[in-house]
Amino acid sequence: MVSFITNLINGISLGSIYAIIAIGYTMVYGISKMLNFAHGDIIMVGAFVAFIIISGLNLPAALGIIAAVIVCTALGIAIEKIAYKPLRHAASPLAVLITAIGVSYFLENAALLLFGSDPKIFTSVVPFTNVTIGPFLIPGTTLISILVSLVLVILLQFFINKTKPGQAMLACAQDRDAASLMGISVNNTITLTFAIGSALAAIAGVLLCSAYPSLSPYTGAMPGIKAFVAAVFGGIGSVPGAMIGGILLGVIEILGRTYISSQLSDAIVFAVLIVVLLVKPTGLLGKNIQEKV
Amino acid sequence: MKSKIAAMSKTSRDNFKTYAMVLIVYVVVMIFQAAGLVSSQMSGLLVPLCVYATMAVSLNLVVGILGELSLGHAGFMCVGAFAGAFFSKITENSMGTFPRFFLAIVIGGLVAGIFGFLIGIPVLRLNGDYLAIVTLAFGEIIKNIMNVLYVGQDASGLHFSMTSATDLNMDGATGNLIINGPQGITGTPFDSTFTAGIIILMISLIVVLNLMNSRDGRAIMSIRDNHIAAESVGINITKYKMTAFTISAVIAGCAGSLYAHNLASLIATPARFGYNMSIMFLVFVVLGGIGSMRGSIIAATILTLLPEILRFMAGYRMLIYSIVLIVIMIVNWNPKSRAWLAEHNLSRFLFKKHHEKKEVK
């Protein structure tokens, strides 16, 4: 029982990191209706920036996190302006998907050239050590991951529902043309969404590498796909859905790895996703939009 | 001959061009090879090139003709590869090279087709990005299962296990481990040749192009363009979606079997059968023009050879590759750049987009 609860907590911790990534994914999807395959690689860039500042230059961890967020935000905006914006009105929605794949290759290979393929050991940025509550030993990174993701979700919910830019995002996600008729700058709103999504990815990158301290150019790829799965799981486009999807995914992955098969843990995650989508084709919290003729 | 071509309808002429292109490339490569002008790296790429081109045709059937996004085609290729290689291993000493290889390709296609059919039943109920993510999930599951599958053969028949080779409980004297979990299948006979690859590519092309111009094909395309309208004129949507998806899986399985007979050890690694591979096939399809089989083959060829051509740039080649990909996509698809190129009579440099999906409001 004790080991089960410890595994559950580890699952929630991994899940909350997935949740942060998935929220970025889902926001970008909601507003631009594109699958941003480069999102996972922005996580990797964030982790590398923090790694250089903290381990390379021996500066304080806080500075590393701030630098990672700034660099990733700028990167996210730049990617959107250079690679995605020219294709916003392309004839096929697949065009921008392929460009996103190109950006993903670009980031991975640029990191490969700069840092090499051998994994780096990332020093954890979490300032405090393990906590013992009763019979449970909870690592500091676990607590921090859960806390950070909770705080971020609450802040984001407040931002989206209570502030003007947040409302503009909702409006653009619902109907871009109508939003621009209401005087909302669609371009700026999309840029803002990419900026927020990328900043979240930077934080997720630092947390992910604090929990699993091996950093390579491909670190972000699989968490990126998992977060995409989490976003779909929860209903793509919905922020609370992404949070729930991420946490469930993390728990399923850790429990599956411990109790069923370590080699099949990814297969189990994907199998659960398939079952969920078959029962509820638009995800857990997704809206079922009736098609009109 | 000339008058015969002129008498053809526009579509048959177009199909004829596609077949001719493949055959001309084949003849030219064979001549170059006979003259010793093809480097060993390039000739090593010939079979993979056929595999990728066939995969691009297969995926284009789903993406371009059926209009659904599949991100799991490498999974079907994986199934076909393992089924074909497995067959070749167990019949290695009992059959001649040609019938064995022929049957291995057929079996690869059939097994992948069965998987395609079974996966299609739940998957095709979904649409859009949800369908895409579920196909991705199936592809990853197939790859994962192949990594824990152990199959051995001894005097008493076949043994299966999902845990380890010792769990197979094989007879020690006659036992022969065929699929060894994460080590996959080793020692598949090297039966694949460029000629065989071209034949498979040609057969896939003939099947897909004829399907496109048939009654069934038009029904499939009508579902793509407007599934509600298609349904209202009495087209059985499920049946036609399943047909297209299963045919596509069969072709992918044949390509996979071809691929397996070109590898010393067949392992279900992420690099060979993971979602990255499925995405690469999608890149071929979109870059070549959604719905255009010729475009898919051209794009597959260019993008497979590009890293090889860029080899002199060593570490920078994949970086250049990604930049080229982004630039081509933007130039090809940005409405403004398309208009500019059309204005300057340069639109022939754009990849053609047949049967482009139109917005139906």
pLDDT digits (tens, 9 = 90+) for A250-271: 999 999 888 887 788 888 888 9
**Is residue A291 assigned to a domain?**
no
Please report the pLDDT score of residue B349 as a whole number: 56
The one-letter amino acid code at B352 reads: K
Q: How many CB pairs under 8 A join A and B?
A: 131
Spans of chain A below 70 pLDDT: 288-293
Min Cα distance B1 → chain A (Å) is 39
Domain assignment of residue A7, yes or no: yes
Position B348 confidence tier, pLDDT thresholds 50, 70, 90? low
Please report residues of A whose CB lies closer than 8 A to that of B353. 91
Lowest mean pLDDT among A250-259, B97-106, B256-265, B312-321: B312-321
Domain ranges of chain B: 2-147+184-349
Q: Cβ contacts of residue A217 below 8 Å, gap of 6+? A: A44, A108, A109, A111, A112, A115, A117
Pairing state between β B150-154 and B176-180: antiparallel
Q: How many CB atoms lie within 10 A of CB A218?
A: 17
> Can you tell me the distance from the alpha carbon of B91 to that of B316, in angstroms, rounded to the nearest whole number?
45
Angle, nearest 10°, between helix axes B293-309 and B317-333? 150
Average pLDDT of chain B is 85
Q: Which residue of A has its CA nearest to B335?
A: A90
State the Cα–Cα distance between residues A104 and B321, nearest whole angstrom. 12
Measured between CA atoms, the residue of chain A closest to residue B227 is A293
Residue A188 domain-assigned (yes or no): yes
Would the pLDDT of B354 be above 50? no
Q: What ipTM is given for this predicted complex?
A: 0.85
The answer to the question of residue A288 being in a domain is: no
Q: What is the pTM of this model?
A: 0.86
Helix (H, G, I), strand (E, B) or coil at B158: strand
Task: Nearest chain A residue to B226 by CA: give it.
Answer: A293
- The answer to whether residue A279 neighbours chain B at the CB level (below 8 Å) is no
Q: How confident is residue B107, by pLDDT bands cut at 50, 70 and 90?
A: very high
Residue B120: name the closest of B238, B211, B291 by CA: B238
Token readout for A128 is: 């405090």
> What is the pLDDT at residue B350?
59
Structure-block tokens of residue A17: 């990191």
Facing A98 at nearest CB: one of B132, B148, B329: B329
Domain holding A182, by residue range, is 2-279
Which candidate from A92, A99, A274 shows the least CB-CB separation from B330?
A: A99
Q: Kindly report the CATH number assigned to the domain that includes residue A234.
A: 1.10.3470
Quote the minimal CA–CA distance from B138 to chain A in Å: 7
Helices (H) and strands (E) in chain B, counts: 15, 5
State the Cα–Cα distance between residues B262 and B185, nearest whole angstrom.
12
The DSSP secondary structure of A60-91, one letter per residue, reads -HHHHHHHHHHHHHHHHHHHIIIIIGGGTT-S
Instruction: Kindly tell me the sign of the dihedral angle through the C-alpha atoms of B188, B103, B116, B22.
Output: positive
Q: Is A228 in Cβ contact with B137 (below 8 Å)? A: no
Q: How many domains does chain A have?
A: 1
User: Quick one: residue B186, left, alpha or beta (phi over 0 = left, psi -120 to 50 = alpha)?
Assistant: beta
Smallest CA–CA distance from B142 into chain A, residue: A267
What value does the mean pLDDT take over residues B100-128? Answer: 91
Tokens at A203, concatenated: 């934080």
Instruction: Compute the average pLDDT of residues B159-168.
Output: 75
A105/B134 Cβ within 8 A: no
Alpha helices in A80-139 (DSSP H): 94-115
Chain A nearest CA to B355, separation (Å): 12
Give the Cα separation of B229 and B235 in Å (integer). 9
pLDDT of residue B358: 44
Tokens 């481990």 sit at which residue? B177
Q: Is B149 helix (H, G, I), strand (E, B) or coil?
A: coil
Judging contacts by C-beta atoms under 8 Å, the chain A residues touching residue B332 are 95
Whether A249 and A15 have beta carbons less than 8 Å apart is answered as yes
Which residues of chain B are within 8 Å of residue A277 when distances are taken between CB atoms?
126, 130, 133-134
Q: Is A275 on the interface with B (CB under 8 A)?
A: no
pLDDT digits (tens, 9 = 90+) for B24-59: 999 999 898 888 888 877 888 899 999 999 999 999
Model confidence at B356: pLDDT above 60: no
Measured CA to CA, the distance from residue B260 to residue B48 in angstroms comes to 10
What percentage of chain B reaches a pLDDT higher than 90? 38
Bigger pLDDT: A214 or B233?
B233
**Is the pLDDT score of B252 beyond 80?**
yes
Domain annotation covers residue A293: no
Q: Which fold has domain B2-147+184-349?
A: ABC transporter involved in vitamin B12 uptake, BtuC (1.10.3470)
DSSP B214-253: SHHHHHHHHHHH-HHHHHHTT--HHHHHHHHHHHHHHHHH
Lowest mean pLDDT among B198-202, B279-283, B288-292: B288-292
Give yes or no for residue B315 having a pLDDT over 80.
no
Report yes or no: B198 and B205 within 8 Å, Cβ to Cβ: no
The terminus-to-terminus CA distance of chain B in angstroms comes to 45
Strands (E), B244-345: 265-266
pLDDT, position B1: 52
Question: For residue B172, what pLDDT is reported?
Answer: 67
